[in-house]
Amino acid sequence: MRMTHDSPPDLRTRTKQFALRIIRLYLALPNVPVAQVLGKQLLRSGTSVGAHYREGCRARSTAEFISKLEGGLQELEETAYWLELLAESEVVPPDKLRSLQQEADELIAIIVTCVKRAKGD
């Protein structure tokens, strides 16, 4: 069930690029406890989005496709939360996170649309 349900074909690449940006952000975080704790949470959730999407593309049923994409959506929401905490705590200057936060928001919107289409909404 590859690339079904009208999923944008570039979403595979886009979620991978998102993960790479998260990795680079994590590597650039200050070596202080709060940054490392928040960073590890961010690293885990931000890099799993693409994995969920890829699993969804190989789903054996529509229900499995929806489940995998919804899992990726949960990870994106969590990633957005960690980015907000990093910005609002000023561990990272908020302006340095804006484009990453925007990409998270755009990916959320795209995946929500994919799930709605798959559900027939």
CATH number at residue 112: 1.20.1440.60
* Share above pLDDT 90 across residues of the chain, in percent, rounded to a whole number: 90
38 domain residue, yes or no: yes
pLDDT at 65: 95
pLDDT at 8: 53
5 domain residue, yes or no: no
pLDDT level of residue 121 (50, 70, 90 thresholds):
confident
pLDDT level of residue 98 (50, 70, 90 thresholds):
very high
6 domain residue, yes or no: no
Q: What is the residue range of 73's domain?
A: 11-119
Give CA separation, 78 vs 3, 5, 6, 10, 47, in Å: 25, 25, 25, 22, 11
* Share above pLDDT 70 across residues of the chain, in percent, rounded to a whole number: 93
Contact in structure between 78 and 104 (CB atoms under 8 Å): no
How many structural domains comprise the chain? 1
What pTM did the predictor assign?
A: 0.89
63 domain residue, yes or no: yes
